[in-house]
Amino acid sequence: MLSEDPPSKSQRKREMHALQDLGSALVALSPAQIRQLNLPDLLGQALLDAKSLRAHGAVRRQMQYIGKLMRNVDPAPIQEFLDRLAGTSQEATAALHRTERWRERLMTDVTAVDDFAREFPTVDRQQLRQLVLAAQKEKTLGKPPRQYRALFRTLIPFLDPHAPGQAHHDDDA
């Protein structure tokens, strides 16, 4: 029978520093984003308190306290939330690619507006059609891509499940 050795002191220190670093990233979030995480009350309050501290020693002690509180929390969902905010998660990247493919399809195929509206019934079909026509005209005239970007911003809530003001697809329900 194999017995597992407890982690070394160096390993425990690395883990504590990693939790402190995660806590530092949390302190940088807005109060609304911190509340979205549904953290334990004590940890949430410690994060909010850290935002008001200015003295180096006080900030350092608060970060150590946050690191201590973080030991009782699963760091995986927190890291996933931070990655999503940073746009580095695979899911966020895939959503951006889907949005880009739809935008290109809408720019080249007139029937794509109807296809998009069938797949996402909550979209304002007329507004989408006007935006596509404006973006196409803008491209033809060689103007800056203002409408082209607006089209992307219009599509992303439908294609990114974590976008603010998300518009859910029927399959998500």
Same-domain check for residues 47 and 82: yes
**Which domain-ending residue is among 69, 86, 103?**
86
Same-domain check for residues 80 and 94: no
**Which domain-ending residue is among 43, 58, 86?**
86
Question: Which residues of the chain, if any, have pLDDT below 50?
Answer: 166-173
Measure the CA dihedral 153/156/162/167, to 10°. Answer: 100
Residue 7 has φ and ψ, to the nearest 5°, of -60, 145
- DSSP symbol at 122: T
> What pLDDT shows up at residue 166?
47
**Residue 118's CATH number:** 1.10.60.30
Q: Are 66 and 43 in contact (CB under 8 A)?
A: yes
Q: Which domain holds residue 52?
A: 9-86
> What pLDDT shows up at residue 168?
45
**Which domain-ending residue is among 86, 108, 135?**
86
Where would I find the H helices in the chain?
9-27, 31-36, 41-52, 56-70, 75-86, 90-108, 112-119, 125-141, 146-159
pTM score, whole prediction: 0.51
